Structure 1
């Protein structure tokens, strides 16, 4: 199974950062990322149901996503759209924002999913160029240029496009328990009845409440967590067939279909970029 168009994982010179380049008509199902995402649409346009509301993005717009934010994405027309994207580990974002602000930063969210900010776009393009383009052209890395570009990007983000989150007292509710069971062992074949028992609900109550609180039904959420587990295994050097088995997929083809549906790339392409 191949994506319609091309979504490509690229080598990146920065630890804690993943990069993609895409030109595709692929419609992405509802999903979320474990990382912050910042990117620029370079051609065409996209419509998405963001956790911060429905949005449309067009060429030259900056697009963002927060960790855990459920969203989808489809092209505005048959020509598709092209974008460049960087995904940042939350710990890297918090540390960089704290350094720029000279103050501790615990948790923030990127305030808007689509931005028309030429300075932010220029900062992103600079970082993408020095950290990604040079790496994939096998030229020499310039660590100093990467560090400068990273700080410039997040200095601007921190001043204009990040909102501190107020810490909330942790509440271990029934849906949190059910979701934690999936998080702890995504490869498990737990049934809806098992998850309902964990939450102390009927299957129907669990299904309705899980979709409302998480943004995805249990099966789709587990599939997403299996893809995330497989990505970690593949990045660590695990063979594709073994990663599929360890992550709970019926076979490698099953894993490939899930990767393409959620990420627009195949596991083999991902492996080639991160190893």
Structure 2
């Protein structure tokens, strides 16, 4: 049975007894922390790194992941975008046998739980989460998902790293540490004994991004960090791997919607948290 969000009204939220904090992650690391409640993560595009109790896990697009907030954890997008939902359950709801069973399993987990809805649910659930455009809609969808989880409609597993994902992690790490380099994709692929076309195919299949998109995003992130430290724009362009200042400016306008100079001005004011343009997220 497909999830019909139009039929999920605010009274149902109150009946379910879920309270939320909702945030979309920005480029950069979320430092290790603990808190009450449960975190639900949804990976829209790219690759997400989650650390729990010193162990590192990698999440790919379309995965729904739960983990307890009381265990020291952090999460960051190595590329792309993901959403975090912090869930608190009202005591009267937690007393329900199905919910109590669900909460006990989550709080006992030492690894993130990857949720696998049946095929009849997965497509509509993932499609609706990627189209979230308001806190109210987000809450109704997440409440319905959690209700189904509590009723054991979803199977749970742990993140798995296969050879293709391992390769992507290695390539992204190389790109991160060599974002200033002018190497082309053929040269980067050769370092990992693979053709450029094969590397593009693996990236596209596993994380929904091309290597070029990932590299550009890493360059932008590095440039943002340098601009925040008041480094001259010409020096930022060179250090971030852009051949010219104009190339840096074009990339900023396309992906962030403002120039490097304007970015530095508004970030220094403390009132701006940049989000990458949806063109990058959709690959257009």
The two structures have a TM-score, normalised by structure 1, of 0.45
Q: Greater Rg, structure 1 or structure 2?
A: 2
